[in-house]
Structure 1
């Protein structure tokens, strides 16, 4: 019965307090807008990391492996020996095509300077030389216009994001790279980080960039996913090789971790500073609300209302304002940032991606808003409950 009585008291006091919010519209708006700003900034900044990480992690999978120079953290920093592809292609763990050729693509990653359509400034873009079996190793990559390049020719296929953002990359265009003319013969869409790349024949790209004998990485596929350990042991124990191997999912996850972590730390720091201001705004608003309702609260306590219902009711009032601000901020962040295109530097060049305002981010934004409301309302709630009844009844 005590629980039911307390619940009824909380409901009664909370209804009265929430009903008076429109009468304090200016002060209430300060809390709502302040919390909306915190949530909007937090969700917007974290959406950068989410989008970047999502783009990279969906580029890899557990079926393909990437072989890099031992100790290299990325393809751009890796240089494999000239004979490395031939040695590794003999490994019995590798899958083979219908012609009994190992499913392996020797690849070279370099940078190409292109002019952005929006600013006219030069920016670095990843230019990847691929082997003839690269398309079979990446079935998600589809030509959406034109054709693939012919082996031995200075021809390029361009990722859809590169074609969209950079001048001189349309189908049939000719661009100068390392003093040589290259023709765009196709546009592809991969739905991942490869959309930020140009592709060419690795045997043509290498000499053009003075990397004729070296490759950055090998992309391979095993005949059995359980053969990874045996394949890794074979490579590590071969005295002719100094390489490391990992799944492509592991590789791209590692590439995204550092930047995503930095963005999250920056977002949380900025949002925390703003949250302090929102908390002070909530404190000021709720202290004013308690002061204007002092006689009302004292009267309720005088006729038998306990302190707990008073505390909870004030907190609920603040949490309602916080929830409104949180929903406003989350909604604005979703409208403005979800799917917004951006780019950042990755291994070899820019990586173009879209902000991702995920349901998890929206949920975390609302939780942050409610936390601010709780902290901002706690002290005024305690003050309201501890105010001497006689003193409060004498207040105007």
Structure 2
């Protein structure tokens, strides 16, 4: 076997080729890491946004979207009195009739962006158990409470959604009086209004949905209630199932992420192959000389693989460092909220496997071609 130092020295024989190989592999690994982190982040936030203990009552025929759903106001009281076994705090049933709305919102800086509104009463805190008020208090009329990632959705600095700031919707102004968190859920990107305010501004006399938190009750109990009250035209769905369906809805977007990453990566891989073909073709005589002094083709092949792996794994390290500073913790807005990119063990593992495959499988064709010529003709080729 050739000494490892031989492969190491060969890396620096052509600095331009080394830079191209390291840069190309770094680009491929970075794209794959970004694609995996993006898809994993979106799946994670949708998977954790719903609770298995919550059931959503929606208008029949609108199970795919809460925003399009319409539920009669009297359905909230009817559900509270008819369904036994709901969770409660201090005698107050954990049931929350809510209005969902998405519309442009203007900040004090004049920035106008699409925002996610949720019209609620204080009973919403009994249902959404992950919500915790970080600063301030629950909103009353003329006030709003914002998720601590709402500024990301609006594309503004966090100062624009601080307590005391004014947000404008339609012709009305609302003062921010509270900031809340709901870790790893879409709620963190929402803006919570007093339900009556949002109903008046949007001219709605119906709710979008009613969320129930079960204690001893089961999903079947809620579903039976919807069958008994046909006049209310309700449909029941588990909250976690609703967000699971949303994840399926976003599958084409995730596929497009993979396709884009694959296309760019393919371009980088083919460019790297061309570089290796040219580099190894210039070393046919060198490989033949080493064979003539006793080294086997197998030993030379292993040395070429080592040389390539050193370059691609260096590129992989560069990709990880870049991803750590540019991607890790980055918050990405999408239609129903925001999610964060995280360099999880799975993401890092995919990057390492990609770097290893680039250094091995990507080296096979040019290495075989370099070692294929017969020894006499290879020695005369210089």
> What TM-score, normalized by structure 2, do the two folds share?
0.86
The question of whether the paired residues in 1 share the 8 Å contact of 2:107 and 2:167 is answered with no
Distance 1:204 1:288, change over 3 A: closer
Report Cα offsets for 1:347-376 as digits up to 9, x if no partner: xxxx23433333322221232233333332
Aligned partners of 1:189, 1:31: CA distance in 2, in Å? 44
Alignment match, 1:357: 343
**Residue among 218, 222, 230 paired with 2:214:** 222
**Residue among 48, 60, 67 paired with 1:76:** 67
Aligned partners of 2:282, 2:200: CA distance in 1, in Å? 80
Alignment match, 1:97: 89
Secondary structure of the equivalent of 2:135? strand
Alignment match, 1:343: 333
What is the root-mean-square deviation of aligned Cα atoms in Å?
2.9
Alignment match, 1:371: 357
Secondary structure of the equivalent of 1:219? strand
Aligned partners of 1:303, 1:176: CA distance in 2, in Å? 81
The question of whether the paired residues in 1 share the 8 Å contact of 2:105 and 2:168 is answered with no
Deviation at 1:220, TM superposition (A): 0.8
Deviation at 1:335, TM superposition (A): 1.1
Aligned partners of 1:234, 1:208: CA distance in 2, in Å? 31
Secondary structure of the equivalent of 1:66? strand
The question of whether the paired residues in 2 share the 8 Å contact of 1:14 and 1:314 is answered with no
Report Cα offsets for 1:124-167 as digits up to 9, x if no partner: 211211133211222332222222234xx333222222357378
Alignment match, 1:3: none
The question of whether the paired residues in 2 share the 8 Å contact of 1:43 and 1:361 is answered with yes
Aligned partners of 1:367, 1:210: CA distance in 2, in Å? 55
Aligned partners of 1:344, 1:244: CA distance in 2, in Å? 27
The question of whether the paired residues in 2 share the 8 Å contact of 1:36 and 1:329 is answered with yes
Report Cα offsets for 1:184-230 as digits up to 9, x if no partner: 32222223322222212323432332112x111111111137x2244
**Residue among 265, 269, 287 paired with 1:297:** 287
Alignment match, 1:6: none
Secondary structure of the equivalent of 1:246? strand
Aligned partners of 1:285, 1:168: CA distance in 2, in Å? 50
* Equivalenced residues, count: 375
Distance 1:281 1:175, change over 3 A: closer
Aligned partners of 1:26, 1:142: CA distance in 2, in Å? 54
**Residue among 57, 69, 76 paired with 2:47:** 57
- 1:88 aligns to 2:76 (yes or no): no
**Residue among 194, 206, 209 paired with 2:202:** 209
Secondary structure of the equivalent of 1:58? helix
Aligned partners of 1:298, 1:105: CA distance in 2, in Å? 79
**Residue among 161, 164, 177 paired with 1:172:** 164
- 1:126 aligns to 2:116 (yes or no): yes
Alignment match, 1:240: 231
The question of whether the paired residues in 2 share the 8 Å contact of 1:48 and 1:263 is answered with no
**Gaps in structure 1 of 5+ consecutive residues:** 1-8
Aligned partners of 1:94, 1:23: CA distance in 2, in Å? 73
- 1:388 aligns to 2:374 (yes or no): yes
Alignment match, 1:186: 178
Deviation at 1:36, TM superposition (A): 0.9
Aligned partners of 2:231, 2:244: CA distance in 1, in Å? 29
The question of whether the paired residues in 2 share the 8 Å contact of 1:49 and 1:263 is answered with no
